[in-house]
């Protein structure tokens, strides 16, 4: 019987240790304090865990993908810091703590985000991380991650999210879905892909994993929207009801809670189905898919 909780704890420990090691060599400074504050604040580590799990699913050791997993979490954290800024979502609470611009200040938060994004690429390219991975593969991974994080992916998703909030008439479901595929889906897909690439997965495996990632990425967003309506703010570490208060377009707002839950379940089933060609080593990925809609924070 596969124990997901044990697996997640184990992988999160690996990831936190790797991130800690990378920051440990940094000199003491305000910018590094702010980077550390946001990076080491006990997030779910979903993207790096997916990266490691995908590496294992194709038959390699998770360690192999650890620097990539760390870089992905840096990029995710930078995006949260910038999304929380007053000019963006203007959030004061994140992972149960004041957001970076509240704990430090706005200028420091902008710069800490910039520095984390840059450090991700330093981590993916510096000689000490390269060991026995071919340079071509590193470059392919940098290309996959940068493409997913930039104007073709995550940044475009956040831009559309900002624009959608300004529209009074709301977004059709297809547009909302396209937005999430960019805003959260692209980096989740890159996480799974880059993990499989580090594990020397085949093209067939990577194609299946992309389908998996698209589905759990969307499921994750639907679940997030549901939690914003009916979640426990103490467990979630952030306020609830904020989406409705700022008239944010969400699945519950468009479909109602019950249909939103049905959509999330269907997405998870499709994610699991896409892993048919994988053996027991994809068990963590299957369990994570189920977990995405059952988590409470």
Q: Please state, in angstroms and rounded to a whole number, the distance separating the CA atoms of residues 130 and 123.
A: 9
H/E run at residue 20: helix 4-24
Q: In this chain, which of 44, 130, 261, 266 binds a copy of itself, going by CB under 8 A?
A: 130
Handedness of CA 45, 48, 50, 52 (dihedral sign): negative
Residue 118 interacts with a copy of itself (CB under 8 A)? Answer: yes
Name residues contacting a copy of itself, limited to 35-54 (CB under 8 A). 35
Q: Which two tokens stand for residue 195?
A: 């993990």
Q: Please state, in angstroms and rounded to a whole number, the distance separating the CA atoms of residues 231 and 37.
A: 25
Name residues contacting a copy of itself, limited to 56-95 (CB under 8 A). 78-79, 82, 85, 87-88
Nearer to a copy of itself, 137 or 257 (CB): 137
Site map for a copy of itself, 131-150, x if CB under 8 A? Answer: ---xxx-xxx-xx--xx-xx
- Supply φ then ψ for residue 94, to 5 degrees: -155, 130
Nearer to a copy of itself, 158 or 274 (CB): 158
Q: Please state, in angstroms and rounded to a whole number, the distance separating the CA atoms of residues 145 and 259.
A: 33
Residue 4 interacts with a copy of itself (CB under 8 A)? Answer: no
Helix (H, G, I), strand (E, B) or coil at 41: coil
Using CB under 8 A as the criterion, which residues of the chain lie in contact with a copy of itself when the complex forms? 26, 29-32, 35, 78-79, 82, 85, 87-88, 105-108, 110-111, 113-115, 117-119, 121-122, 124-127, 130, 134-136, 138-140, 142-143, 146-147, 149-152, 155-156, 158-159, 162-163
């Amino acid at each position: 019987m596969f124990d997901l909780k044990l697996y997640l704890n184990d992988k999160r420990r690996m990831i936190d240790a790797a991130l800690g090691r990378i920051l440990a060599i940094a000199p003491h400074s305000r910018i590094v304090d702010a980077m550390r504050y946001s990076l080491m604040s006990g997030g779910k580590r979903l993207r790096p865990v997916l990266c490691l799990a995908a590496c294992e699913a194709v038959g390699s050791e998770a360690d192999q993908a650890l620097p990539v997993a760390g870089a992905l979490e840096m990029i995710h954290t930078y995006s949260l810091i910038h999304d929380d800024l007053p000019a963006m979502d203007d959030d004061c609470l994140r992972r149960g703590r004041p957001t970076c611009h509240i704990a430090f200040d706005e200028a420091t938060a902008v710069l800490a985000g910039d520095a984390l994004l840059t450090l991700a690429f330093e981590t993916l390219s510096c000689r000490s991380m390269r060991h026995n991975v071919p340079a071509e593969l590193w470059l392919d991974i940098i290309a996959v991650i940068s493409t997913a994080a930039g104007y073709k992916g995550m940044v475009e998703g956040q831009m559309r999210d900002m624009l959608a909030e300004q529209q009074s008439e709301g977004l059709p479901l297809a547009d909302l879905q396209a937005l999430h595929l960019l805003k959260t889906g692209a980096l989740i897909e890159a996480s799974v892909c880059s993990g499989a690439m580090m594990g020397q997965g085949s093209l067939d495996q990577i194609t299946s994993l992309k389908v998996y990632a698209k589905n759990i990425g969307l499921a994750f967003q639907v679940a997030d929207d549901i939690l914003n309506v009916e979640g426990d703010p103490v467990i979630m570490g952030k306020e609830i009801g904020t989406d409705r208060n700022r008239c944010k377009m969400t699945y519950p707002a468009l479909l109602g809670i019950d249909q939103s839950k049905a959509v999330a379940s269907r997405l998870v089933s499709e994610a699991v189905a896409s892993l048919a060609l994988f053996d027991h080593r994809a068990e963590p990925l299957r369990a994570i898919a189920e977990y995405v809609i059952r988590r409470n924070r």
